[in-house]
Structure 1
Amino acid sequence: MTEQPEQIQQMGPRTSEHDKLNPFEGTFSTVVKLWMGPGEPMTSTGTMVNDWVLGGRYLRQAFTGDPVDGPYQPFEGIGFWGYSGTSKKYQGYWIDNASTWMQLETGSVDASGKIWTMKSRFPNPADGKPMNKRSVITLHDNDHHLMESFFTVEGGEEVKSMEISYTRKS
């Protein structure tokens, strides 16, 4: 019985895996490209503010789209990103005012510590059939990173749906 509380305590503290997310803390200006079908993407801008919460275990994300140029007016989203000591995976959670589903992603970082691949599966909003999402977050340096999202419907090919370029403001 005495081992169980110790094992639980080992799952709770912040780790070096959390530290890999430190470059994402801060305020970033964004350029968002959104592909709704073939052709050129819609482009908009916004601001992402990321800060550590709950003892540095979770990176809280708050996104606000610029009201003059976005497809969803005014666009707002919030999320959390962290590392699970239990599953040994990165986990992300995102909600926004452009949809009513809660997006949950799980993934890992590559050996360089600069490229995260996050995956999720959920019903396609268009027809309810299963759909896969893959997000790739690439850390270029402490002031720049890129997030790309790809969707795959059952029996279909993977399609790029979104790209967000982040540049540090502060």
Structure 2
Amino acid sequence: MSKSKFEISLESGVHHRLQALTGSWEGSTKTWFEPGVLADESEMKGTIKPILGGAFLLHEYQGSLNGKPFEGIAIYGFDIPNNTFQSAWIDSFHMGTGLMVSNGTPTENGFSVLGQYSVPEYPAPWNWRTTAELTDPDTLIITAYNISPEGEEDKATETIYKRVS
């Protein structure tokens, strides 16, 4: 019997490359609320583990933001039939009671996904682009960019993780 596309991906494709993100991570997160004005830098700890047989990764993280506890969860996956990276993200600060679903593409060492959010104060939705790049086997950089309705893109957060296990 031949292998499924998922089994092949898990052995040597995108899902295999995704597995390189698994582990325990520690580092720091920088946050900007205004372009070029660093608002906070604090420690961050996270774990990334495979779920549903390696079809997805679960990223759980915690730290602080402006001295207050902060935590979040993201699920990352690759949809083989549609050749699309996907993520679902919640956290205790940025998303409030909302969930952001993002879609994008694989990159050489990770992925880039684009989601959208809106709040009553802003008449037009904003975009949120997230990239994850494994720059070496023990360094993971997750960066998010806020994109205005006019298309101006500014760095919002950047987490630089080092593998601890």
2:67 aligned with 1:75, yes or no?
no
Deviation per CA, 1:20-43: give whole Å up to 9, x if none.
112210000020000012523310
Q: How far is the alpha carbon of 1:11 from its aligned partner? A: 6.5
The verdict on how the C-alpha distance between 1:123 and 1:36 changes in structure 2, with shifts beyond 3 A counting, is same
Structure 1 match to 2:46: 48
Q: Distance in 1 between matches of 2:103 and 2:151?
A: 22
Q: Distance in 2 between matches of 1:146 and 1:125?
A: 31
Q: Distance in 2 between matches of 1:125 and 1:22?
A: 38
The verdict on how the C-alpha distance between 1:116 and 1:125 changes in structure 2, with shifts beyond 3 A counting, is farther
Alignment RMSD (CA, Å) = 2.1
Equivalent residues, number? 157
CA contact (8 A) 2:132 2:142 kept: yes
Where 2:33 maps in the other structure, the secondary structure is coil
Higher strand share: 2
Q: Which ranges of structure 1 fall in alignment gaps of 5 or more residues?
A: 1-8
Q: Which ranges of structure 2 fall in alignment gaps of 5 or more residues?
A: none
Q: How far is the alpha carbon of 1:104 from its aligned partner? A: 1.1
The verdict on how the C-alpha distance between 1:61 and 1:72 changes in structure 2, with shifts beyond 3 A counting, is farther
Q: Distance in 2 between matches of 1:90 and 1:72?
A: 33
TM-score by length of 2: 0.85
Match for 1:32 among 15, 25, 29? Answer: 29
Q: Distance in 2 between matches of 1:145 and 1:123?
A: 28
2:10 aligned with 1:21, yes or no?
no
Larger-gyration structure (1/2) = 1
Sequence identity percentage: 25
